[in-house]
Amino acid sequence: MLTQTLKTQAINTQIGGKIAPAHPVSDQFGAITGHVGLVATEFSYRKDEEIYGEDEPAEYVYQVVTGAVRSYKLLSDGRRQIGAFHLPGDVFGLESGPSHRLAAEAIIDTSVRLVKRSSLEKAAGTDVQVARKLWAMTAGELRHAEDHMLLLGRKTAMERVATFLLEMDRRLAVAGMMALPMCRRDIGDYLGLTLETVSRALSQLHSQGILGFSGARQIVLRNRQRLHNLDA
């Protein structure tokens, strides 16, 4: 679902963010700016607003500029499985088929920029650098899907929470603190756990001195090595 257009511009490398990654993001859209005629349109979404729905035509490829996005699937019984969290700089919405297999929503107030899928495919057909970048994006999504499958299929509840915290530490932490955009229910739906199980695991990690809390969604990682030891 496309909402109010903010601006249309040539793709650049400026990735802002209310949620700031710990390390400079890899601007995969900016890396293909050299292709003539490739432009990005920026859109703004409010918290919990749909960006696109499941089974909608996959006409665009997206990149988070500010905020955060969740990709998810609703099961027939109403349960929700979150497939990925997309943070500033992340590209999402790449599909092999004609439609989106998952829906995407803004977790908080979010801005994204998008490029027509047909334009990217056309560019990839004539520019080897664009083709390589698209391949890298696709390979990255496949790697994440494989890691997530292993997490859901084989890891215990504590191992899943530890894996998630280490991922967020790598992607979000500044000076040892993670400001999480997602709530615990989101985390549970990503890890295949109940809200109560996530809360209990976080409380256990806190009591063991592995992490601390600074606000509702701010986590201070106090012992990274012990957390790594829990991540089988």
Q: Is the pLDDT of residue 162 over 60?
A: yes
Mean pLDDT of the 6-26 span: 42
Give residue 69's Cα distance to chain centre: 6
Model pTM score: 0.84
pLDDT at residue 131, as a whole number: 85
Q: Is the pLDDT of residue 38 over 60?
A: yes
pLDDT at residue 217, as a whole number: 85
Dist CA 116 CA 130 (whole Å): 14
177 — pLDDT class (breaks 50, 70, 90): confident
pLDDT of 138-157, one tens digit each? 888 888 888 899 889 889 99
200 — pLDDT class (breaks 50, 70, 90): very high
113: left (phi over 0), alpha (psi -120 to 50) or beta: beta
Q: Is the pLDDT of residue 10 over 70?
A: no
Which range among 26-30, 33-37, 38-42, 216-220 has the greatest average pLDDT? 216-220
- Least confident residue range of 23-27, 135-139, 170-174: 23-27
Which residues make beta-bridge pairs with 170? none
Phi, psi for 220 (deg, rounded to 5): -105, 120
23 CB-near residues (< 8 Å, 6+ apart) = none
Percent of the chain with pLDDT over 70: 83
pLDDT of 129-143, one tens digit each? 888 888 888 888 888
pLDDT at residue 8, as a whole number: 42
Q: Kindly give the interhelix angle for 195-207 and 157-172, rounded to the nearest 10 degrees.
A: 80
The CATH architecture annotation of domain 5-150 reads Sandwich (2.60)
Q: Which of 24, 15, 101 is nearest to 66 (CA)?
A: 15
Mean pLDDT of the 69-80 span: 95
pLDDT at residue 13, as a whole number: 33
The highest-level CATH class for domain 155-230 is: mainly alpha
Q: Is the pLDDT of residue 43 over 60?
A: yes
Residue ranges of the chain assigned to CATH 2.60.120.10: 5-150
Residue ranges of the chain assigned to CATH 1.10.10.10: 155-230
Q: How far is CA 147 from CA 31, 35, 43, in A?
A: 26, 33, 30
What mean pLDDT is reported for the chain?
85
Of 22 and 185, the structure prediction assigns the larger pLDDT to 185
pLDDT of 85-130, one tens digit each? 999 989 999 898 999 999 999 999 999 999 899 988 888 888 888 8
